[in-house]
Amino acid sequence: MQIVFATNNAHKLAEIRAILGRDIEILSLADIGCHDDIPETADTLEGNALIKARWVKQRYGHDCFADDTGLEVQALGGGPGVHTARYAYPDRHDPEANTRKLLAELSGSDNRAARFRTVIALIQGNEEHLFEGIVEGEIATEERGTEGFGYDPVFVPEQLGQTFAELGVEVKNGISHRARAVSRLAAYLRSARP
């Protein structure tokens, strides 16, 4: 089985290829000659994942899946949500500025409950499917740890007491929101094969 993952993020590709194994060949956008800047204009994670998957299916004709991830912080009314990657600056990705802004906005707050949520949209033939992965946790009061990327130094998954950045990439990849969504996708793909 061969399927396109609507990304050129090498980290995501490696992670998903490892989870799906050798029996499902994952192609990147570059592998199919797609260098488009695919818009993400929906106000939900589900909507953005579907936009990306539909873009590839309609323009390139490949079965495809795409993901979108958001950090949802209770004290911020579920924000930054779909704006997670561009939280500090709407026109660019700046992970350090995003983390600083998050810590500043939660300064003095007793409610630090948060969750990471990934939604994967799969289009196979004419069918669309959604798969979700969630990790509950909280936002630390300061950055801790050196591994990972993005909000990893401040996100503490439930019952582990350490940030993703302290736990390390291998542990994170085993329990992360993306890993949970991908495992649901993998189970579906394997069950749907003839």
Catalytic residues: 68
- Provide CB contacts within 8 A for 106, sequence distance 6+: 73, 75, 76, 112, 139
Cα–Cα distance, 17 to 5 (Å, whole number) = 10
Phi, psi of 136 (to 5 degrees): -80, 155
**DSSP output for the chain:** -EEEES---HHHHHHHHHHH-TTSEEEPTGGGT---------SSHHHHHHHHHHHHHHHH---EEEEEEEEEEGGGTTEEETTGGGSS-TTS--HHHHHHHHHHHHTT-S--EEEEEEEEEEEETTEEEEEEEEEEEEE-SS---SSSSTTTTTEEETTT-S-HHHH-HHHHHHHSHHHHHHHHHHHHHHHH--
